[in-house]
Amino acid sequence: MHETTKTKPGIALPPLAPGMQGFASDWASDQRAFKNVSWGKAMMWIFLLSDTFVFGCFLLAYMTARMSTTVPWPNPSEVFALNIGGQDIPLILIAIMTFVLISSSGTMAMAVMYGYRRDRRKTAALMLLTALFGATFVGMQAFEWTKLIHEGVRPWENPFGAAQFGSSFFMITGFHGTHVTIGVIFLIIIARKVWRGDFDQEKRGFFTSRKGRYEIVEITGLYWHFVDLVWVFIFAFFYLW
């Protein structure tokens, strides 16, 4: 680009050098890339991008271990079955966990909507409901871990088959469960601030933005939706494969 680029009427940006040099200069100086995006949103997106690489590496390592082992891999329908009424029901707990976590994305989206409408009571209530869904998910995951540990599954051994199953399971689900737990804590903190009216009174404190700005609710929602999306991939690769 050799011509001067305008982003707003009366505001001109200097011309860019051609090719990759201009692209690198544009992004490095933040001339256009994040012009209309707050630093809070930009930093959250950058964090989520880096976290995507971490989860992606974990899932690739899991697939590599599963496809390269010579020992039979455990059948998820048998390992994750619950005995209810004398019958083994496959993946029933995992299905409930998935339903709870996906439902929390809906309540979080509604919380963001009411936040920008300045309805702090509904926003706080929906955020607390989202946190309750998240805490329920973590509780069921703890039950799942307890059950498998009681049955002899360890990171270094597994009575159902390949030893890599235990290490993959505890690493991937534990890392995701940690993300959910952190999200629940932040949801409670932000919900308390919204309920007290900190964003309406411009009260100073951690995570309190300018007066009337409920953007932190949306930023928290970005993190929460990411956690839910990652679980969909874990569910597909680990429990259905």
CA distance 156 to 154: 5
pLDDT in tens, 18-57: 777 766 665 555 545 556 667 788 889 999 999 999 999 9
Asked if residue 106 has pLDDT above 90, the reply is: yes
Q: Please compute the mean of the pLDDT values over residues 129-153 and round it to a whole number.
A: 94
Predicted local confidence at residue 120, as pLDDT: 87
104 and 198: one domain?
yes
CATH number for the domain that contains residue 116 = 1.20.120.80
Q: How many CB atoms lie within 10 A of CB 225?
A: 16
132 and 180: one domain?
yes
CA distance 96 to 155: 25
114 and 231: one domain?
yes
pTM value is 0.81
110 and 7: one domain?
no
Number of independent structural domains in the chain: 2
79 and 94: one domain?
yes
User: Rounded to whole angstroms, what are the CA distances from 9 to 6, 12, 37, 81, 171?
Assistant: 7, 8, 18, 63, 52
Beta strand pairing status for 5-8 and 11-13? antiparallel
Asked if residue 146 has pLDDT above 50, the reply is: yes
Residue pair 163/71 in contact by the 8 Å Cβ criterion? yes
Range of the domain at 137: 37-239
Asked if residue 79 has pLDDT above 60, the reply is: yes
Asked if residue 8 has pLDDT above 50, the reply is: no
CA distance 39 to 45: 10
pLDDT in tens, 193-213: 888 887 777 666 655 555 556
Q: Determine phi and psi for 165, rounding to 5 degrees.
A: -60, -45
